[in-house]
Each structure stands twice: as C-alpha cells, then as structure tokens.
Amino acid sequence: MQRNLPQADTIFHNGKVLPVSDDSVQQAVAIHGERVLAVGSESEVLALAGPGTKRVDLRGRTLIPGIVDIHAHMDREGLKNDYPSLAGARSIDDILEVVRREVASKSPGEWVVTMPVGDPPNYTNMPQGLAEGRYPTRHDLDRVSPNNPVYLRGIWTPWNMPPSVSVANSVALQMAGIDRNTPSPDETVVIDRDTDGYPTGVFSDSNGYPSVEFTLMRIVPRFTHAQRVEALKESMQIYSSVGTTGTYEGHGIAPEVLRVYKEVWDAGENKQRVHLTLSPSWASVEDAEREMEKWGHSASGPGFGDDMLRISGYYIQYGRSPYLARARSAELPYTGWAGFAESYHPPEMFRGLVRQAALHNLRVNTLVRGCLEDVLQVFEEVGRETPIADKRWVLVHILRATDDQMRRMKRLGLVLETIPLTDLWLRGHALPAPQDGEGAADAHRTYMHYDIPYSFGTDNKPYNPFQTLWAAISRTEAHSGQALDPNECLTRMEALRAFTVGGAYFSFDENERGSLEPGKLADLAVLSDDYLNMPMQEMSNMRSLLTMVGGKVMHDSGEL
C-alpha cells in the first residue's frame, strides 16, 4: 500500500472484494473521487479513512467491478413496460381478459396494443402453453373489442426463435386494408386464412427480424421519441440494478435511437457508460464513401465523446435478406424494437464498404453467424492494403470456428462477442453439427488458448448478466439439462473477468475500468449473494444491492 495517499471518500470493508486483475479475494476497497484509491486487507484500507470518510460494512458480501455488457440493446428494456403484458395467460380467455380491461380504458376507435403472447423474456412454449393449443383469432378478439383496433404484437424474434406470430382483430384488419385479396409481402410471411380465404387475423413471420409491422400492419402505433427517451432512462436504471455499469452496442444504433442517447446525455442523466456503434443505411459504396469523407472523423479510431457517451465505427452487415432489408428500410427512420437499420450487402458491396471503413480508420463490427469464413477473407484482403491488426474490429455473434480461423483472427487483431445464454441454453438443442473442423459453440476456453480477446453480451434477453455468466460457466442446454462441450466451461473468476475487463477492452478502456485497481475508475457492484460459492442453480437470480459508476451511486436497494 502506498504511503501519503489522500483520505478516502468511501470505504467498503469486511467483504469479499474481487479485483479480477488476479484471482485474489480482498477484504476492502477505498474510493477517492471517481477512482479506486486502494484495494487490500481490512487494516490496510481502513487506514485511509478520515473524519469525512463514509464507511460501508459489507458484512461478508461480494463486491465486483461493474459488468460491461458488450451486446446490450439496452434501449429496449424500458419500452417493454409501455404496453400491457400477457405474461401468465394460459388460455385465450386469459388473453381476452387483458384486452377487455384495456378496451375499458380507451375511447372507441383507440388502439389496444399488447406485448406478445407468452411469458418474458423468451416467450417460449406458445401456443402449446395455451389451453386451446392455438393463438386467438380476430373473431376471439372481436368478442371483447368490436369497436377498437387490437393488435397482439409478435415476439421480437431474437428473444426466442422464428416465427414471430402476431394477431389483429377485425377493426385493425379493416384499418390496415387487409382482406381476402391481400397478398403476402413475401413467402416468409404467412397470412393465416379460414376455409373461405378470409384472414383470421393471425400473421406468422419467419424472418430473422419481424417485418409485419413494417409491411402489412404498418398502421399499428409506433414507439414515439418521448417514449424512447423515458424508456432509455428506465433501462439504464434497470441495468444498474443488476450490476451493469457500461455497455457496448456492436450491432449498431440508428439515428432515431442515437438521438435519444444524446438527449439523455445532454441532460446529464446517463447512469451507464455507453459506447455506441453507428448503424448506417447506405444505398451504395459510393454513398458510404461520401458519408465517411464528411463525417467519418467523428467516429474514427477508439471513438469520439467522453467517459459516459462515446461513438465509434460502424456495424456493416454481410449478406442477409434482400426482402427484409427492403421492408424495414422503407420505414426508416423508424426501426421498431431493433434500434438499428437492417441492410442487405452482397459480397462485393460488403468488400467495398469494409475497404472504405479501413481507409477512414473506422472500426468495423460484423455479425458472422453462418458467414465467418467469407468475412474473414474480406478482412484479410482489406488488411493487406490497410493494416487493421491494432483496430480491434469486432466479430459479432460468433458461434463456431476452426483452429485455422482462430489463428487468422489472432493475426487480424479481432475481438469476439458471444451470447452464451442464447447460444448454449436457449438454442443449444438446435445447434447444427460442426462442419469442416469447426470446434465447439462459444468456445471460450479455446479463445483463451489462442489469446483472442472476447467478452459476453446479454442481447437483452434477458438483461441480467448473471444469467449470462451462469451459461458461460455451466454451458447447460435447456431441453436436456446437459452441459455442451464441458471442456469449454469457464471458472467463475474467468467468466467474471471476461464480462468486466474483457468488456472494457471493446471500448479501448481496459486501462481505465473493468477491474478494481488503484487509479482505475470506481465502477463497481455489491452483490446480493456470494458469487464464488453460491449454488450454480441460484446464480441467475443474483442482483446488485448497490452500483457505482465513477464513485457515484447509480443504484441503491437500501439493503446495505
């Protein structure tokens, strides 16, 4: 412990302090201003107390660095509370009771829009979980709402798996101009019909991201700017309540949501350190080049902004669905649940966009599920022209890779983002068999072997990072209850390190935050349970009792 240190503002003591810079368990941590002053034993740290020092007795509780969620989609969480929930409904009558209650509070002709059928966060086992084994139809909804348009939203497909099933009543269908002659906008969207060909009001959308509210039912009321602003503030508070202190949005943020973040930042109401990646809607490589020439400097390198809001780089999509890109892009700037613009970039266009980004020192983030080899080849080609090895380009939603691909990732200086709760627990039963020497899904221990930086995202399904930590440690698959490739399981300390200092690496901040070391920013959380020793099956329920960002309390449960 250094001598002549200033007096601590706050000391947390008599606890289990996990610095994560090593595997040690300390007893106390001192905070001065916005930074960590000291970490160590009870006697060492309490020696830094003075008359004005606030002492917090942890009474044996665990204190960790703040979680950095590198695929957070944080803006969505608060929006979920703006619409009536159908959670707990186990029959069509249960659903109708919620609709009846909502109609009673509306004027004739006013919309009733609900969250999806099923229980959040994943809306699983539907419609099998309903007594009738089917979704309600327009005729069912008409019984309780003959004069008000009703729309039961389908799931945002990444919350579970396609399809996304939504339901409209007769008034809503009439307002949308949908009748027996209305064609489907694409083979991926099914308008359910009765034996006479009339729509039943049920839509089934098997796209990766739903398109019905951007095509057939674009008349449904949309999130407003005011809703998004209040929802983001609420989301930041919710994320703070589970120990998250920072986010990285590698899937990109579209202008309508970027405006919301900026407004909250302007008002000084950020409770999270936010790092945003831009989500463009370029029509061509030439369009992108013009934009980069004009504005690229504002998002170049590690980014532009301050400790609470920073912007850098672009999310650049490889391939995807031409239909989905057309359907969703036609309604921009509105993006719905996504918060990002959906694009279709065939291989040659992707290559051109990536080349321009490299020339302008703009970091590239690309989703590589099912296209890893194609993306790696482009990155290698571009990297031979414009070196990218120190730029920390991001492979988003990586799933499987071969040993050869791992070595190439290392040479390119890439960083990897995984979503273990979704990949291993929720969808583990549907994982395709490895191809051509591919290794395990979310091969975290192999990434460590090749010394490739990686971290986790919650993908907001759900937002609690301890469920994600549980998935990375146990690798349990929901249907069988078995561990997938158990040789890839992480220890509790390894997983926590990946979600803290590993997350900070995505923002070039590993020397500023992510671990509890003297001089680093005092981003921390006091946990509701003993992270290192609690039963694994209880880890998913853990939360934060107190969360600090830069030495300021952002969440306090009142239990300390």
29, 39 Cβ separation under 8 angstroms: yes
CA 501/CA 515 separation, integer angstroms: 6
Nearest to 443 by CA among 489, 394, 491: 489
User: What are the tokens at 347?
Assistant: 């291989």
- Count the Cβ atoms, other than its own, within 10 Å of residue 348: 10
Taking only the tens of pLDDT, the chain with its 560 residues reads 556 789 999 999 999 999 999 999 999 999 999 999 999 999 999 999 999 999 999 999 999 999 999 999 999 999 999 999 999 999 999 999 999 999 999 999 999 999 999 999 999 999 999 999 999 999 999 999 999 999 999 999 999 999 999 999 999 999 999 999 999 999 999 999 999 999 999 999 999 999 999 999 999 999 999 999 999 999 999 999 999 999 999 999 999 999 999 999 999 999 999 999 999 999 999 999 999 999 999 999 999 999 999 999 999 999 999 999 999 999 999 999 999 999 999 999 999 999 999 999 999 999 999 999 999 999 999 999 999 999 999 999 999 999 999 999 999 999 999 999 999 999 999 998 888 899 999 999 999 999 999 999 999 999 999 999 999 999 999 999 999 999 999 999 999 999 999 999 999 999 999 999 999 999 999 999 999 999 999 999 999 999 999 999 999 999 99
Answer whether residue 90 is part of any domain: yes
Nearest to 215 by CA among 141, 162, 161, 164: 164
CA 105/CA 190 separation, integer angstroms: 32
CA 435/CA 399 separation, integer angstroms: 12
- Count the Cβ atoms, other than its own, within 10 Å of residue 131: 12
271, 308 Cβ separation under 8 angstroms: no
| 268: Cα within 13 Å, side-chain hemisphere | 0
CA 60/CA 74 separation, integer angstroms: 31
CA 92/CA 102 separation, integer angstroms: 15
CA 407/CA 393 separation, integer angstroms: 15
Q: Do residue 260 and residue 350 come from a single domain?
A: yes
Nearest to 73 by CA among 304, 328, 319, 244: 244
* DSSP-assigned letter for residue 185: S
Q: Tell me what pLDDT residue 278 has.
A: 97
Nearest to 524 by CA among 18, 65, 14, 22: 65
Answer whether residue 136 is part of any domain: yes
CA 205/CA 195 separation, integer angstroms: 21
Q: Do residue 466 and residue 387 come from a single domain?
A: yes
Q: Do residue 198 and residue 335 come from a single domain?
A: no
Q: Containing domain of residue 55, as a range?
A: 10-60
User: Can you give the CATH number for the domain in which 43 is found?
Assistant: 2.30.40.10
User: Can you give the CATH number for the domain in which 521 is found?
Assistant: 3.20.20.140
Q: Do residue 125 and residue 233 come from a single domain?
A: no
Residue 277: enclosing H or E segment and its boundaries? strand 273-278
Which amino acid would we find at residue 36?
A: V
The total number of structural domains in the chain stands at 3
Q: Do residue 202 and residue 277 come from a single domain?
A: no
Residue 396: enclosing H or E segment and its boundaries? strand 394-396
> In DSSP terms, which residues pair with 31 in a beta bridge?
10, 36
CA 145/CA 154 separation, integer angstroms: 19
Sheet with 16-17, strands from edge to edge, namely: 16-17, 62-65, 524-527, 544-549, 552-556
Q: Do residue 443 and residue 542 come from a single domain?
A: yes
Answer whether residue 428 is part of any domain: yes
Interacting residues of 246 by C-beta distance below 8 A, sequence separation 6+: 66, 67, 68, 69, 272, 273, 274, 275, 503, 504, 507, 509, 513, 523, 549
Q: Do residue 132 and residue 36 come from a single domain?
A: no
Q: Do residue 28 and residue 115 come from a single domain?
A: no
- Entry field: residues in the chain: 560
Answer whether residue 1 is part of any domain: no
Answer whether residue 195 is part of any domain: yes
Q: Tell me what pLDDT residue 536 has.
A: 95
Q: What is the three-class DSSP state of 124?
A: coil
End residue of a domain, out of 214, 247, 266:
214
Interacting residues of 439 by C-beta distance below 8 A, sequence separation 6+: 400, 401, 402, 403, 446
* DSSP-assigned letter for residue 211: -
Q: Do residue 56 and residue 31 come from a single domain?
A: yes
In angstroms, the first-to-last Cα distance of the chain is 27
User: CA angle, corner 348, sides to 328 and 297, nearest 5?
Assistant: 75
245, 547 Cβ separation under 8 angstroms: yes
Answer whether residue 72 is part of any domain: no
Q: Do residue 89 and residue 122 come from a single domain?
A: yes
Interacting residues of 22 by C-beta distance below 8 A, sequence separation 6+: none
**Residue showing tokens 């051109």:** 352
CA 514/CA 521 separation, integer angstroms: 8
* DSSP-assigned letter for residue 476: B
| 365: Cα within 13 Å, side-chain hemisphere | 29
Answer whether residue 491 is part of any domain: yes
99, 112 Cβ separation under 8 angstroms: yes
CA 515/CA 510 separation, integer angstroms: 8
CA 555/CA 552 separation, integer angstroms: 9
Answer whether residue 503 is part of any domain: yes
Q: Do residue 193 and residue 239 come from a single domain?
A: no
Q: What is the three-class DSSP state of 102?
A: helix
End residue of a domain, out of 182, 214, 246:
214
Nearest to 280 by CA among 301, 263, 295, 265: 295
Q: Do residue 246 and residue 266 come from a single domain?
A: yes
